[in-house]
Every structure is written in structure tokens, then in C-alpha cells.
Chain A
Amino acid sequence: MSDPNLIAMAEAPAGSGRPRSLAGDAWHDLRRNKIFWASSVLVLVVLLMALAPSLFTSADPAACALSNKHKGPAGGALFGYDFQGCDVFARTVHGTRNSIEVGFLSTLLAGVIGLCFGLAAGYYGGAVDAVLSRGIDIVLGIPFLLGAVVFSGRLSAGEGDDGVTAVTLTLGLLAWTSAARVMRSSVVSAKSQDYVAAARMLGAGPLRLMFRHILPNSIAPFIVVLTLMLGANIAAEATLSYLGVGLKGEAISWGVQIADAQGQARVAAGPLVWPSVFLAATVLAFIMLGDAVRDAFDPKLR
């Protein structure tokens, strides 16, 4: 046994290699996950489309000519024209921004509410937890879209409002419960870990404990929930707009496009199909991204 390689091999623990942190492990897995890359690219394209629609189309989505009604694809109008003679491609591309904006902002709002509720309930436990958990139950007692239908109408400022603020607030105020629950349970389990007990004994205050020790170890499932929620909120915005209580007026939105095109789908399928495809692809991208991240953090479910 004089071969140094042999000795090194014998000494290396099973499945050798430097021990990695959970996040490091997850990243290692993610990097090799094709679905992660595919969904990331899709998400980036959608984001780019939302930020700079003119990169994708030079046509003005509001420049419609009834003479073009239901015309097929021609020139710049890749997807043809809708019943008002608007360029479907241009409208679909420009509709991205509203969907993404509503999706991101409402998810952000839900995330902040969920974070506060979940952290407080999980960290303090006892009576605080009981009260906050009942609060979560109450919001969960209202079916998501039904609540949204009622609230969105109430919140909008009336004449001339494009509904973006109202929809964002509505979705944010109703969607946070899942984030709060996930945060709560991971805080509860993180709290019982030895290192937190140790930090507490060393005199770390509640805020420091929460943000330095508990939060970093509870954040992964929370982020996964938010990613999935983003997809769901984008879909919900489209549904509200479809029902007439979402974006309205001059606002361009995939949901509005679908609602407008549905009656004439027999005559011209393009105006219905294309916004549907964009919507589904966007939702799909966020779901796949969330799934991939979750799998990376929770390998036992594979």
C-alpha cells in the first residue's frame, strides 16, 4: 500500500468531494438541469419583451384600421389582424408588459405579506401563531378568483382607470396565504435546529436571530412558492381581464385579447390562439422554473 493515490482514495469518504452547502448542492443540480435552463431562457425572453417590446415589433398596437379586419398574416403583422383590424402580434407583444407587471408586483406584495405573517407566526408560536393562522384561514375561506372578482371591481378607481393597480392589489392581498404557510412551517423547523438554539444562547436578539439565522435557511421553499405564484397570478390577471374586472380601457392584455377574440374564433382563430400561446408559455416557464428549483432543493421527491 505505498501508492499515494490508493491511500488518498481509501481516506476519502464515500461519494468523495468537498462537502457542499444545501444551496451549493442545489446549484450543482440546477446547472445540469435542462428544464431549468429552458425555463430560464423563456423567462428572460418574456422579461425582455415586457421591458422593450419595440425590440420585437415596430408596429403600434393601437394603430388599428377596420379595413384590416380579420386579415391574415401580412408584412410585419406575423399573426394577422383582429376584429378591429389591430395587429395581433404587436398587441400580443405589447400585452406582455401588463401581464408581467401585474404578476411581479402582486407576487411581491403577496411575498411581503406572507413573509411577515409566516415569520411572525413561526417565530413567536403560541397565541401569535394561533391568531395569525386563523387570519390565514379566513383569507383561504374565500375562493381565490371569486374574491378577486369582487375586490378587483371594488378597488378600481372607476372611469379611465386601466385597472393595473386594482388587479395588482387584489391578487397580492388574496394570494399571500400559501407563502405565509410555507414560511411559517420552515421557520418552525429551522427554529428547532441546534445552531439557532446556540445563537440564542449566545445572546442573539429576536431580529438578529430571524434575519441572520432563521431566514437564510427558510428562504428556499419560500422562493419556490413565489415562483409558482408568479405563474398563477399572471393567469389570474388574464382571467379577471377576460371576465371584465381586470385590465380595461386602453390597457392591452392577453386576457382582454382572448375575451375579444373568442366570439369570432370561428372566423379568425389567430387573435384567440396567439395570446393564448403567449400566456400559456409564460405560465409554463414560471412553473417549470419553480419546479426545477424545488427539485434541486428537495431531491427526495424525484
Chain B
Amino acid sequence: MFRYIVRRLLQMILTFFGATFVVFALMFANQDDPIQALAGEKPVSASLRAALTERYHLDEGFLSQYWYYMSNLLTGDLGVTLTGRDISALLAEAWPRTLQLSLMAIVLAAVLAVTAGVWSAIRRGGALDNGILAFTLLLLAMPIVVLAPVAQLVFGMELGWFPATASREISFYTLMLPAIVLATTVVATQLRVTRTSVVENLRADYVRTARAKGLTPRRVTWVHVLRNSLIPVITLIGVDLGTLMSGALVTEEVFNIPGVGFNLARGIRNEDGPLVVGFVSILVIVFLVVNLIVDLLYAALDPRIRYE
């Protein structure tokens, strides 16, 4: 276990610097005028130019630029937007909403994917299984840019089941529809992986043993098979977080939820380079940390790795 953790940590540190470096390089390197790039197509005043140069140390060598960028990032100093607002403060205000939204989506997706995936696997080949598979196919085919506006139109406006936007009060209720929309971006893959994994595990020898022990089918499935089947599903969570982040970008924009994605989408539209760089860098860090946690969780679920 210890060696596994150390190895994963080392790999993650490498990935961390690699990924942030790539983001950084694409932001600042290879640009004729990085300052103009940060400001988009707007004219840049001399004072803004000076401020940006100082902020990103653009008058120094490339590696030291990266060094300053990283140390600022890791100390939580994200600088100010082009309109002069403190980016860290923006982020601090925005993240609880995004966290609530994504937690709702994750729980919703996981519960649905696991129950439906197991059912589907148990009754594989049956009508329920085929129905569920067709439904996942439909979900997979609906990019979030289709689903979010159409769901808002149908369930928010026409049918009026849910509030169409959530801008004023963020609550469980106003976040419900956006959370469902966000959940659909990951639920189909999770469900399919769960199903495949359960189907494979149902054929395993240890299932026969469990049945020979006189255990109820329910216990065989939900205790013996599920624990084994969840191992590949857990590894998906890492990838899914990336999908959820991009999903939140669109979902929050569509439903007017002033969270991280909403601010980032605004930043993109207004071509506010510092905001985009800051937010994306933080999200990349969150993504990497969660992936490390997932790896450890993976080891916790599979003793064969733990005792490697």
C-alpha cells in the first residue's frame, strides 16, 4: 500500500507540473503579444499593459514566468480580472454553488447508474436491459449543449415542473433540473461500465461459492458482486469529474447559476484572459487532486493492489 501511494504521488507530481506547464505554455508562449492575447480583441491601455507585464512577469525569462505563475497559484493569489475584480474572491464566492450542483449531480448519477446497471446486468437480454441500453445511447448522443437548453425549454418553461433559472436563490429545488442535466453527462457511461462489469463478475467462480453458501440472491449481488464490479466504476469518477466541469460550464451558463462555470463562461465571452487562466488552472489542480484520491480509493476497494 505504502509503495503504491508513493508511486502514485510521484506520478501525480509529474503530471501536475506537466499539465500546468502545458496550460501555461499555451496561454503565454508562442504568442506574438501575450498581453494582447490576455485581453482578447480589446484595445489595451498602457497602464493595463504595465500591470499585466508585472503580474505575469512577462519581461522575464520563460521559466521564471512559469515559476511565478505556479507560486502565485499555489499561494492562492490569482490576481485581478481585466475589470479589476479580485479573482480569488470571485472564486471563493462561486465555488460553493458549483460544489452543491456537482455533488447533487454526482450522487444522482451514481445512484441511478449503479442500480440500473446492476438490474440491467441481472436481466441481461431482457426488455428492461434493452430499454435501459437504448436510453443510455440516447443520453450519450445528447451533448450538454443540446440537453441543457432543451431541458430548460421543456421542463422549465413549457411544463413548468422546475424553475427555469436559478439565479436568485440557490437551493436544492432550483438546482434540481440543472443537476439532472449535469448528471446525464456522466450517467450513461457509468451505467454501461457498471453493467458490463456486473455481467462479467456474475460469471466469476466466487459467485458460485457465495450461492453454495446459501446466501440470498440479494446478498450475493449487492455484497459479493457489487464490491468487485464497482472497482472499474470508481476509476471512472476521475474522468467523470472532467466531464462534469465542462458540463458545469454550459449548465451554469444556461440556468444562470453564478458558480465557477458561469464565471468562467463569462470570462471566455468577455475575453478576460487573467480570469480564464486563473480559473482553469485551479480546476486543473482540483481535477488532479481528485484523481489522486480516486486512485487511493481504488486501492482501498481492491486489496490485490493494496498489498502489491
| A adjacent to B, CB under 8 Å | yes
- CB within 8 Å of B: which residues of A? 134-135, 137-147, 149-151, 153-154, 158-159, 231, 235-236, 238-239, 242-245, 255, 258-259, 261-262, 265-266, 269, 272-273, 276, 279-281, 283-284, 287-288, 291, 301
B157 to chain A: closest residue by CB: A266
Instruction: Please tell me if the beta carbons of A243 and B18 are within 8 angstroms of each other in the complex.
Output: no
Q: CA of A138 to CA of B67 in the docked complex: distance in angstroms?
A: 18
Instruction: Please tell me if the beta carbons of A146 and B246 are within 8 angstroms of each other in the complex.
Output: yes
Instruction: Please tell me if the beta carbons of B26 and A151 are within 8 angstroms of each other in the complex.
Output: yes
- Residues of A with C-beta under 8 A to B271: 153
Instruction: Please tell me if the beta carbons of B146 and A279 are within 8 angstroms of each other in the complex.
Output: yes
Q: Write the B268-308 contact mask toward A (1 if CB under 8 angstroms, else 0).
A: 11010000110010011001100100000000000000000
Q: CA of A137 to CA of B138 in the docked complex: distance in angstroms?
A: 30
- Residues of B with C-beta under 8 A to A140: 15
Q: CA of A245 to CA of B18 in the docked complex: distance in angstroms?
A: 24
Q: CA of A280 to CA of B142 in the docked complex: distance in angstroms?
A: 5
Instruction: Please tell me if the beta carbons of A146 and B284 are within 8 angstroms of each other in the complex.
Output: yes
Known pairs A243-B249, A262-B149; A141 contacts B15 (CB<8 A): yes
B188 to chain A: closest residue by CB: A287
Check B103 for interface membership: any CB of A closer than 8 A. Answer: no
Instruction: Please tell me if the beta carbons of B152 and A150 are within 8 angstroms of each other in the complex.
Output: no
Check B163 for interface membership: any CB of A closer than 8 A. Answer: no
Check B80 for interface membership: any CB of A closer than 8 A. Answer: no
Q: CA of A276 to CA of B146 in the docked complex: distance in angstroms?
A: 5
- Residues of A with C-beta under 8 A to B37: 154
Q: CA of A244 to CA of B138 in the docked complex: distance in angstroms?
A: 26
Instruction: Please tell me if the beta carbons of B245 and A143 are within 8 angstroms of each other in the complex.
Output: yes
Instruction: Please tell me if the beta carbons of B14 and A134 are within 8 angstroms of each other in the complex.
Output: yes
- Residues of A with C-beta under 8 A to B253: 243
Report the interface size class on chain B: 35 or more
> Which listed residue (B40, B146, B241, B242) contacts A280, Cβ 8 A?
B146
Instruction: Please tell me if the beta carbons of A149 and B137 are within 8 angstroms of each other in the complex.
Output: no
Q: Write the B1-43 contact mask toward A (1 if CB under 8 angstroms, else 0).
A: 0000000000100111011001100110011000001001100
Q: CA of A138 to CA of B291 in the docked complex: distance in angstroms?
A: 12
Known pairs A142-B22, A239-B144, A287-B141; A258 contacts B268 (CB<8 A): no
Instruction: Please tell me if the beta carbons of B287 and A143 are within 8 angstroms of each other in the complex.
Output: yes
Known pairs A137-B11, A284-B138; A150 contacts B149 (CB<8 A): no
> Which listed residue (A134, A153, A265) contacts B18, Cβ 8 A?
A134
Check B153 for interface membership: any CB of A closer than 8 A. Answer: yes
Instruction: Please tell me if the beta carbons of A141 and B149 are within 8 angstroms of each other in the complex.
Output: no
**Known interface pairs A135-B18, A143-B242, A239-B143; 17 further A-B residue pairs with C-beta atoms within 8 A, sorted by A's residue number:** A137-B14, A137-B15, A138-B14, A141-B16, A144-B246, A146-B245, A146-B283, A147-B23, A147-B280, A154-B37, A265-B149, A265-B152, A266-B157, A272-B149, A276-B146, A280-B146, A284-B141
Check B132 for interface membership: any CB of A closer than 8 A. Answer: no
Known pairs A265-B149, A272-B149; A150 contacts B280 (CB<8 A): yes
If over half of A's interface residues share one DSSP class (helix, strand or loop), that class is named, otherwise mixed; here it is helix
- Residues of B with C-beta under 8 A to A239: 143-145, 246, 250
Name the interface residues of B216-248: CB closer than 8 Å to any CB of A. Answer: 241-243, 245-246
- Residues of A with C-beta under 8 A to B122: none
B242 to chain A: closest residue by CB: A143
Name the interface residues of B157-208: CB closer than 8 Å to any CB of A. Answer: 157, 196, 199
- Residues of B with C-beta under 8 A to A266: 153, 157
Instruction: Please tell me if the beta carbons of A138 and B26 are within 8 angstroms of each other in the complex.
Output: no
Check B140 for interface membership: any CB of A closer than 8 A. Answer: yes
B267 to chain A: closest residue by CB: A149
Known pairs A158-B41, A239-B144, A284-B138; A142 contacts B284 (CB<8 A): yes
> Which listed residue (B16, B22, B31, B149) contacts A258, Cβ 8 A?
B149
- Residues of A with C-beta under 8 A to B14: 134, 137-138
Known pairs A272-B153, A280-B141; A154 contacts B26 (CB<8 A): yes
Q: CA of A151 to CA of B41 in the docked complex: distance in angstroms?
A: 16
Q: CA of A276 to CA of B142 in the docked complex: distance in angstroms?
A: 8
- Residues of B with C-beta under 8 A to A141: 15-16, 18-19, 284, 287-288, 291
16 A-B pairs with CB atoms under 8 Å apart are A134-B14, A141-B15, A141-B16, A143-B241, A143-B287, A145-B245, A150-B27, A150-B277, A154-B26, A158-B41, A239-B145, A242-B145, A258-B149, A279-B143, A287-B140, A301-B199
Q: CA of A269 to CA of B156 in the docked complex: distance in angstroms?
A: 13
Q: CA of A159 to CA of B142 in the docked complex: distance in angstroms?
A: 32
> Which listed residue (A142, A245, A272, A283) contacts B143, Cβ 8 A?
A283
> Which listed residue (A144, A261, A262, A287) contacts B254, Cβ 8 A?
A262
B277 to chain A: closest residue by CB: A150
- Residues of B with C-beta under 8 A to A151: 26
Check B108 for interface membership: any CB of A closer than 8 A. Answer: no
- Residues of A with C-beta under 8 A to B142: 280, 283
- Residues of A with C-beta under 8 A to B27: 150, 154
